Structure 1
Amino acid sequence: MSNIQLIIEERPNNIGNFMVGRLLPFREKRMVGPFAFIDHMGPVRLSDHENLDVPPHPHIGLSTLTYLFEGSIQHKDSLGTDIEIKPGQVNWMTAGKGIVHSERTPEYLRTSDKMLHGLQIWVALPKALEEMDPEFFHVEEHEMPVWNADGVHFKLIAGEVLGKKSAVPVYSPLYLLELKSTSRQTITIGKDLFGESALYILEGAIESEEHVFGPKQILVAKDSKLCEFVMQENTTVYIFGGEAFPEERTIYWNFVASSKEKIEEAKSRWLEQSFPKVPGETEFVPLPNQVPGVKFK
């Protein structure tokens, strides 16, 4: 019997001035462990007059994880954070009871050609921490464990697994692993994983139970402990998962919560513009169905 419960194809989704590949949520699988949302950005080439510009928008009940392969994003938030993220680094922003942030091409790159490619991930917070104060952490690449085993290069981007721990301050048991192989290799790490688990193929291909799977697919495992597959040469995959929460999560727009009441409250707060402001920003992303173009009060 196959251990692959579900195969999710990347689906194009417009987030503004360019397309991303939406991976989670999916109608048949809303979350994997605490992971509620995964977008694959790019790779996209932006010309000297094209830039990433996502105006201030709110979040509640989650942590966002931004991880770039190419390019650069200037992150600003309502805590006063103003920082550039580059490939290999992690921006970890915990919304808790509410945070607002913008994501734009840095000023010094706005008149030159550039690439943008990476992952943007939402991790739901445990119910007891949904109303925590918002936080932001920037984690350098050297703060993430990296090692080689049996011809495979591993990086633990977030969480704790395989006897390693990332500096990203997560709030529930989880893991986000990067595996890269230049040669054909068999992976048998399932016994060391826990909770729910899924695998995203960025490039190359894997073989599992006499099937070959290529880029832009997520494979959701029925049992992470049975996770065994073959990486073909020049393959990069991401394994993510962790302990699922006992309660379901409601996802609406940029909000994640354990109750619809919290979602409705957040919608009202954004309509009233009572979320904290991002210093130096005057634009904002309207609530879906809200009249666009309104400035901050």
Structure 2
Amino acid sequence: MPAITPTDPLTLPRVHAPTDGTPRPVLAVNTAPSGFEGEGFPVHRAFAGINYKHLDPFIMMDQMGEVDYEAGEPRGTPWHPHRGFETVTYLIDGTFIHRDSHGGGGTINSGDTQWMTAGSGLLHIETPPEELVMSGGLFHGIQLWVNLPAAHKMMTPRYQDIGGGSVTYLTGADGGSVIRLIAGDLDGNEGPGITHTPITLVHATVSPGTELVLPWRADFNALGYVLAGNGYAGADRRPMHTGQTVVFGAGDSLTVRADAKQDSRTEALEVLLLGGEPIREPMAHYGPFVMNTRDELQQAFDDFQAGRLGVIPSTERIPHT
């Protein structure tokens, strides 16, 4: 982990935090509970137990894996509906196939991101390819749900396929970190992801003993999720480790630091850093539908049951199990 890493971080553009900025304090460090999703692949619920006021515009995030499947074990999800939000699937290791009832989708491989705007609604499936089912192999990624404001909830569905090689690669002020900017702006550098709600999404690899300080928009919230490794968050050096989510408070810079000694499973601290401009609208959320009112939520169920979100193509194969 991760699949794509520049060979020499010292050649990358450097990100500098404001020298007179206000460091964001750490409000909480939560351990993500584990569970299973879809046909039974393991996940960690990164945002479980966190007050929504600290998450807005995000709804939920699952860490999928990390799991090394034996032959015959890889699993996906059956067909299911979505309406009213966006799913961001960032695959660190493995291969996943996405398809929908409108003929959209694609294949994402190690390092790739697929950004699906469900908008007015569709049926969707995520499944490992047949060759991965036959051979087994490593599977690891995250899926993030990003809310849409009321004005965009019923927009036409769309996809963005962001190849691992097309993200913006940066490094910290001392060259000791690799920063993968998937979406948003960081010190004047733009990520390729196009968002309806302004957000920043970063995957950082922080070398042992290195501190990474990033500028962060003061009007954004800020969260960190440890994919692997251990270290500290904030200027007050709150300990954090694999499977924990850090909630940052107000300010215009955020800090993470990798322990000088990592465990045998990782060579560095791997952390997702994300934040966005809160939408601050009422939210009615149930299962795969995220709307503003109960009436809109009921309409989403009615439309799904009536087939107005699309139908499963008659030629579509069932998911591999």
Give the aligned length.
284
> Structure 1 residue 229 and structure 2 residue 256: aligned?
yes
Contact kept? 1:204, 1:215, Cα under 8 Å: yes
* Structure 1 residue ranges without an equivalent (≥5): 285-297
Contact 2:74 2:136 in 1 (8 A): no
1:18-167 to 2 correspondence within 5 Å?
Answer: 18-26=41-49, 28-29=51-52, 32-149=55-172, 150=174, 151-167=176-192
SS at match of 1:48: coil
The corresponding residue for 1:247 is 281
What CA distance in whole angstroms lies between the structure 1 residues aligned with 2:271 and 2:316? 37
**Are the counterparts in 1 of residues 28 and 247 from structure 2 also a CA contact under 8 Å?**
yes
CA distance in 1, matches of 2:217, 2:54: 21
Q: What does the per-residue CA deviation read over 1:76-131, in whole Å, with 9 as the maximum and x for residues that have no partner?
A: 11231242110111111101110211011112222112221100111111221011
In 1, distance between residues paired with 2:76 and 2:164? Answer: 25
Following superposition, the deviation at residue 36 of structure 1 comes to: 1.0
Q: Which residue is 1:184 aligned to?
A: 209
The Cα shift of 1:27 comes to 5.2
Cα distance in structure 2, aligned partners of 1:77 and 1:41: 20
1:292 aligns with none
TM-score by length of 2: 0.82
| Contact 2:207–2:258, Cα closer than 8 Å, also in 1 | no
Q: 2:170, 2:181 within 8 Å by CA — same for their partners in 1? A: no
| 1:66 counterpart SS class | strand
Deviations 1:144-201 (A, max 9, x none): 1002232111110122232121222211210001111223122222455641111111
Q: What amino acid does structure 2 have at the position aligned with 1:19?
A: P
Deviation for aligned residue 1:25 = 4.8
Contact between 1:250 and 1:260, CA under 8 Å: does it hold in 2? yes
Q: 1:170 to 1:79 in 2, by over 3 A?
A: same
Deviates more, 1:107-116 or 1:66-75: 107-116
4+ aligned runs moved over 6 Å, structure 1: none
User: TM-score with structure 1 length normalisation?
Assistant: 0.88
Measure, in 2, the Cα distance between the counterparts of 1:136 and 1:44. 27
* Counterpart residue type for residue 52 of structure 2: K
Q: Percent identity?
A: 26
Q: 1:199 to 1:82 in 2, by over 3 A?
A: closer
1:153 and 1:53 map into 2 onto residues whose CA distance is 30
Residue 187 of structure 2 contacts residue 215 of structure 2 at CA under 8 Å; is this kept in 1? no
**Structure 2: which amino acid aligns with 1:67?**
Y
Query: Is the CA contact 1:33–1:243 (under 8 Å) kept in the aligned structure 2?
Result: yes
Partner Cα separation in structure 1 for residue 304 and residue 201 of structure 2: 31
Tell me if 1:264 matches 2:298.
yes
* Equivalent pair of 1:39/1:121 in contact (CA under 8 Å): yes
C-alpha distance in 1, partners of 2:308/2:120? 12
Aligned residue for 1:273, secondary structure, equals coil
